[in-house]
Structure formats: C-alpha cells, structure tokens
C-alpha cells in the first residue's frame, strides 16, 4: 500500500498518511466501514472524477483535482450520499471533514512518496 505526504502548495501540510488507491481492491474498499478518518490521514483516488459515501459512518471532505493537482471542487460528502461528478477531475482526494476550511477551489495540492 503506497502512502503519500500531501500539502497545499506554499501552504499547510494536509497529511503524511494519505493512501494512494492504486489497485482495484483499494479503489473498491476506499474508506467504507471505517470508524473515523484521523487528521493527517486520507485517500487519493487516481483516474477518478466521482466517489460515493455508501457504507460510511462519518462525513468527509472530497476535493476533486485536475491532472496537475489543482482543486476544481471541494465538498463535504455525507454518509450514504453520492458525491458530485466533476468531468475535468483526474483525482479525488478524501480528507477529514474538518479540513474544509483549508481547501479552496484554485489552490494546488502537491504530494510525494
């Protein structure tokens, strides 16, 4: 399982325990069935422009990113709801909902292994 460190370019660190959902099992499972998403944790889904909150127990922040990591949309996804489909998105980043005040459309998210 590949873990990444993410930050806002020129801004705060978002986490050091971000899982890259790079295989079919991780993409399928996502955060379903987990009890919480702690600060510093999350998931990054490549080649994705939509996610859902089925089998989730808590709200999350979903940030839709283009190929360069620019935030196209940022929304709270509630449990058992379907998220937006953002046609130009190439990644969806799932983070703790309390980071919603930090993530803004137009900012760039950068990551490294």
Chain mean position to CA 37: 11
What's the pLDDT score for residue 32?
Answer: 85
Residue 20 forms beta bridges with which residues?
A: 44
Provide the domain count of the chain: 1
Mean pLDDT over 86-108 rounds to 97
**pLDDT band at 1, cuts 50/70/90?**
confident
Predicted model pTM? 0.94
pLDDT in tens, 2-33: 999 999 999 999 999 999 999 999 898 899 88
Mean pLDDT over 56-81 rounds to 97
Query: Rounded distance, CA 81 to CA 97, Å?
Result: 15
Mean pLDDT over 101-112 rounds to 96
Range of the domain at 56: 3-112
Residue 107 forms beta bridges with which residues?
A: none
- CATH number assigned to the domain comprising residue 91: 2.60.120.1140
Identify which of 26, 12, 14 has the alpha carbon closest to the alpha carbon of residue 63: 14
């Amino acid at each position: 399982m590949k873990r990444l460190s993410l930050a806002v370019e020129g801004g705060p660190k978002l986490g050091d325990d971000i899982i890259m959902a790079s295989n079919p099992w991780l993409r399928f499972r996502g955060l379903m069935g987990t009890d919480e998403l702690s600060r510093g944790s999350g998931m990054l889904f490549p080649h994705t422009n939509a996610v859902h909150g089925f089998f989730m127990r808590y709200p999350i922040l979903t940030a839709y990113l283009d190929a360069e990591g620019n935030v196209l949309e940022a929304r709270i996804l509630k449990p058992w709801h379907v998220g937006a489909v953002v046609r130009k998105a190439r990644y969806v980043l799932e983070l703790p909902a309390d980071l919603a005040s930090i993530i803004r459309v137009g900012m760039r998210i950068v990551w490294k292994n």
